[in-house]
């Protein structure tokens, strides 16, 4: 039962309530429109955004004038206040560079913080836009494989040390990790930051999933909050889009303390090559931070129960395994023991659309988005079980 303090949140928000998304230009739902396929791929949720966000958006529409918009000082202050309250991370409003989303920030880092002959270090598996950003810049890169240690996807310091080059300039970090679901601990981040210092690397840390922590007591630590000298070499990318469920009306930002780094990163923002967020993005973000916390706590409870359901179901299926998901609403499922050659295609043929693992760096995996109504998730997991029973049956030809 979702609780915040002594308050039971169950009656306030109904995450079980089905919401019809077909016909709404949904990326996730449109791809399989008209087919009996449960789409659990791209990372958005099937929940209505918090009432506070919807009310703020409705108020802007009611006002009726949708002209060019300044970045609101109130939002800068809300971000500063939230970072201090959640992480004791002291930032200055002037360090914030607004972006239409986090992905443009991954690209700006590759293009402006790595010289043409420079090199970037990228963890793998990882959200595909990290690698795309470096490819399109184009800059050279090394993929640094994360390893499964004590059930968590973590950096391997030996592999990291082997991958760094004299021309390495940028270290990408995804924390919490998509698709692995890891919340990196303070000691893990300290070691990573020490590595960045030793090799004079800028850190680009995507922390978009920071408020989707599913294990009570496991805190998110912004890597820039570790020490002033780490802050000065870090670009932190953040957004309320994921946690509060409005990526289609989005807003994101970078937090960059060092003025020179900020100027270099922001060149395309200042030149308007990269546009500012829309008035709806600003309004949604401010409303989420001011009035969305109770909703967020209830959503995290709901996602935690979905995560537990997924872990139980996957654990009982022959040939499938997954690490415990500490954060995000994404399960990174190892299908290598299932005997199925193409797990993504196999599950799709049985009515469940997952993200193919190759997209993130390992074709033996699939990624499942459990940010959906529980009844739909249960149905998808049943279909996956059936798909595996089918694959283990001897084929008619022997
Ligand atoms: C790690 C990570 N970064 C960025 C994004 C997308 O960010 P945005 O929609 O703000 O561009 C996602 C979406 O799945 C993500 O998982």
For the segment 84-99, what is each residue's pLDDT rounded down to a tens digit? 999 999 999 999 999 9
3 pLDDT higher than 60:
no
Burial 44-69 (b: 16+ CB within 10 A, else e): bbbbbbbebbeebbeebeeeeeeeee
Pocket probe for ligand 1: among 208, 239, 253, the residue whose CB has the most ligand atoms within 8 Å is: 208
For the segment 354-380, what is each residue's pLDDT rounded down to a tens digit? 999 999 999 999 999 999 999 999 999
State the pLDDT at residue 1: 46
Q: Is 105 in the pocket of ligand 1 (CB under 6 A)?
A: no
State the pLDDT at residue 397: 38
Q: In this structure, which residue's CA is closest to atom 13 in ligand 1?
A: 43
Q: Is 208 in the pocket of ligand 1 (CB under 6 A)?
A: yes
For the segment 242-278, what is each residue's pLDDT rounded down to a tens digit? 999 999 998 999 999 999 999 999 999 999 999 999 9
Whole-angstrom Cα distance, residue 122 to residue 360?
11
Whole-angstrom Cα distance, residue 178 to residue 174?
7
CB 221 within 8 A of CB 184: yes
Pocket probe for ligand 1: among 44, 100, 129, 275, the residue whose CB has the most ligand atoms within 8 Å is: 129
Pocket probe for ligand 1: among 102, 178, 240, the residue whose CB has the most ligand atoms within 8 Å is: 102
Q: Is 101 in the pocket of ligand 1 (CB under 6 A)?
A: yes
State the pLDDT at residue 398: 30
CB 324 within 8 A of CB 154: no
State the pLDDT at residue 217: 87
Average pLDDT, the chain: 95
For the segment 269-324, what is each residue's pLDDT rounded down to a tens digit? 999 999 999 999 999 999 999 999 999 999 999 999 999 999 999 999 999 999 99
Domains of the chain: 3-52+293-391 (3.90.1150.10), 65-291 (3.40.640.10)
State the pLDDT at residue 259: 98
Q: Is 44 in the pocket of ligand 1 (CB under 6 A)?
A: no
């Amino acid at each position: 039962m979702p609780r915040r303090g002594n308050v039971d949140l169950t009656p306030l928000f109904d995450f079980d309530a089905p919401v019809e998304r077909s016909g709404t230009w949904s990326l996730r739902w449109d791809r399989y429109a008209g087919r009996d396929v449960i789409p659990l791929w791209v990372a958005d949720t099937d929940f209505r955004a918090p009432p506070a966000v919807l009310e703020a958006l409705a108020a802007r529409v009611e006002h009726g004038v949708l002209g060019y918009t300044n970045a609101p000082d109130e939002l800068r202050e809300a971000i500063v206040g939230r970072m201090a309250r959640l992480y004791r991370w002291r930032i200055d409003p002037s360090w914030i560079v607004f972006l239409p989303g986090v992905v443009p920030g991954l690209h700006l880092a590759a293009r402006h913080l790595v010289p043409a002959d420079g090199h970037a270090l990228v963890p793998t598996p990882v959200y595909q836009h990290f690698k795309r950003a470096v490819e399109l810049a184009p800059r050279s890169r090394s993929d640094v494989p994360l390893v499964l240690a004590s059930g968590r996807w973590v950096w391997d310091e030996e592999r990291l040390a082997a991958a760094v080059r004299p021309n390495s300039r940028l270290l990408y970090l995804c924390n919490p990790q998509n698709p692995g679901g890891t919340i990196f601990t303070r000691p893990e981040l300290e070691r990573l930051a020490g590595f960045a210092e030793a090799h004079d690397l800028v850190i680009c840390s995507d922390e978009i999933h920071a408020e989707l922590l599913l294990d009570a007591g496991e805190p998110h630590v912004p890597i820039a909050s570790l020490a002033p000298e780490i802050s000065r070499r870090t670009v932190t990318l953040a957004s309320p889009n994921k946690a509060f469920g409005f990526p289609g009306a989005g807003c994101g930002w970078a937090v960059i303390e060092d003025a020179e780094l900020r100027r270099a990163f922001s060149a395309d923002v200042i030149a308007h090559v990269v546009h500012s967020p829309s008035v709806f993005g600003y309004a949604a973000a401010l409303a989420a931070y001011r009035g969305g916390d109770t909703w967020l706590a209830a959503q995290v409870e709901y996602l935690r129960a979905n995560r537990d359901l997924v872990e139980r179901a996957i654990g009982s299926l022959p040939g499938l395994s997954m690490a415990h998901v500490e954060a995000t609403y994404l399960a990174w499922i190892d299908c290598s023991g299932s005997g199925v050659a193409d797990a993504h295609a196999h599950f799709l043929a049985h009515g469940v659309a997952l993200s193919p693992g190759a997209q993130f760096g390992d074709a033996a995996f699939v990624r499942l988005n459990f940010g959906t109504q529980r009844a739909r998730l249960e149905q998808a997991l049943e279909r996956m079980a059936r798909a595996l029973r089918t694959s283990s049956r001897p084929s008619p030809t022997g």
